[in-house]
């Protein structure tokens, strides 16, 4: 069985999908999956399911939601919903959870970096990022869930930063330009991605395009946020204007 939260909440088994449509039911399952194989306190579940505005009989209602999940997963031998006086846990055994896969692959990438295997690290980062299907926890309601989704997205951003820096370090600047254009479009105010794109263009002999992309983000930051690019991005622009050899410009100190 596969559980997925790096995108819309999904549960799949060999026979197809298990459809969970009730919003509160989604909230219960998503909260349990965020801490799969560990007990989640009742208080936290109540907070997440009702967004810190629980009804009087919240704990009783929560028990009914967990009971319905047990009915859904009852025939699945690898999935167990455990309960105690203090909380609930979903034990997923050998099932695949995309969040766990993502985090395991990021850990593998870091191990490869420590061992000096940058190419293997790139492959591990790409496997990690392949687990993402869209915005984390999409369709699961509540402000607290949106906060959790933001924290997960920060992990995704960090992995992308490291991946692109490795690709640039390996000399793959031409190959990653289309990918960096896409990620900058998705995160238009994220200066690290802009810097990586600008550097990739400059290293590819496309100085004018590099400066145009810098000017574009500068205008975007000024017009929409009322700020100038950060010092690091400004220094990158100055290096390009000064025609510093592309091989001498790196972003490692910034990203570290």
The CATH number of whichever domain residue 137 belongs to comes to: 1.25.40.10
Residues 125 and 20 in one domain: no
Beta bridge partners of 41: 87
Separation of alpha carbons 217 and 97, rounded Å: 36
Do 127 and 219 lie in a common domain? yes
* Same domain assignment for residues 132 and 234: yes
| Mean pLDDT, contiguous 10-residue spans, the chain (256 residues) | 95 86 94 96 96 92 93 83 94 94 98 97 98 96 96 97 96 97 95 96 96 96 94 93 88 54
pLDDT at 252: 57
Q: Which domain holds residue 158?
A: 105-255
Are 87 and 137 part of one and the same domain?
Answer: no
Do 12 and 113 belong together in one domain? no
Last residue in a domain, options 68, 96, 124 = 96
CA dihedral sign of residues 53, 57, 59, 63? negative
Phi-psi map region of 79: left, alpha, beta (phi>0 left; psi -120 to 50 alpha)? beta
Which pLDDT belongs to residue 53? 93
State whether 156 and 176 are in the same domain. yes
> What are 218's two structure tokens?
């500068």
Same domain, 85 and 121: no
Instruction: Identify whether residues 110 and 86 lie together within a single domain.
Output: no
Q: Residues 117, 235: one domain?
A: yes
Q: What CATH number corresponds to the domain at position 23?
A: 1.10.10.10
Residue with tokens 């105690």: 84
Return the pLDDT at 113.
96
Q: What is the pLDDT of residue 242?
A: 94
Same domain flag for 92 and 112 = no
Asked if 2 and 130 count as a contact pair (C-beta separation under 8 A), the reply is: no
pLDDT at 256: 44
Q: In this structure, are 174 and 217 located in the same domain? A: yes
Supply angle C-alpha 149, 32, 92, rounded to 5. 115
State how far the alpha carbon of 105 is from the alpha carbons of 32, 40, 79, 85, 161, in Å.
Answer: 22, 25, 23, 35, 15
pLDDT at 92: 93
Distances (CA, A) of 114 to 110, 127, 128, 250: 6, 18, 18, 19
Facing residues of 16 across strands?
Answer: 13
Q: Can you tell me the distance from the alpha carbon of 88 to that of 186, in angstroms, rounded to the nearest whole number?
A: 36
Q: Name the domain boundary from 96, 114, 134.
A: 96
Which of these three, 96, 124, 146, is where a domain ends?
96
The answer to whether 54 and 24 have CB atoms below 8 angstroms apart is no
pLDDT of residue 248: 86
Count of domains observed in the chain: 2
């Amino acid at each position: 069985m596969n559980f997925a939260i790096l995108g819309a909440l999904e549960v799949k088994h060999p026979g197809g999908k298990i459809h969970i449509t009730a919003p509160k039911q989604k909230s219960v399952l998503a909260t349990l999956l965020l801490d799969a194989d560990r007990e989640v306190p009742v208080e936290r579940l109540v907070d997440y399911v009702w967004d810190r505005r629980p009804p009087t009989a919240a704990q009783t209602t929560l028990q009914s939601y967990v009971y319905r999940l047990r009915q859904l997963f009852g025939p699945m031998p690898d999935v167990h919903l455990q309960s105690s006086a203090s909380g609930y846990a979903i034990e997923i055994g050998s099932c695949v959870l995309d969040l766990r896969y993502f985090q395991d692959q990021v850990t593998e990438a870091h191990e490869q970096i420590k061992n000096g295997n940058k190419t293997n690290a790139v492959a591990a980062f790409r496997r990690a990022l392949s687990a993402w299907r869209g915005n984390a926890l999409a369709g699961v309601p509540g402000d607290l869930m949106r906060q959790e989704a933001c924290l997960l997205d920060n992990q995704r951003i960090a992995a992308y930063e490291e991946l692109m820096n490795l690709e640039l370090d390996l000399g793959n600047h031409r190959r990653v330009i289309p990918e960096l254009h896409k990620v900058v479009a998705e995160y238009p105010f994220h200066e690290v991605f802009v810097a990586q794109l600008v550097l990739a263009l400059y290293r590819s002999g496309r100085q004018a395009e590099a400066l145009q992309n810098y000017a574009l983000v500068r205008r975007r930051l000024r017009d929409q946020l009322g700020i100038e690019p950060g010092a690091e991005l400004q220094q990158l622009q100055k290096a390009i204007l000064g025609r510093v050899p592309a091989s001498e410009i790196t972003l490692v100190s910034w990203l570290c």
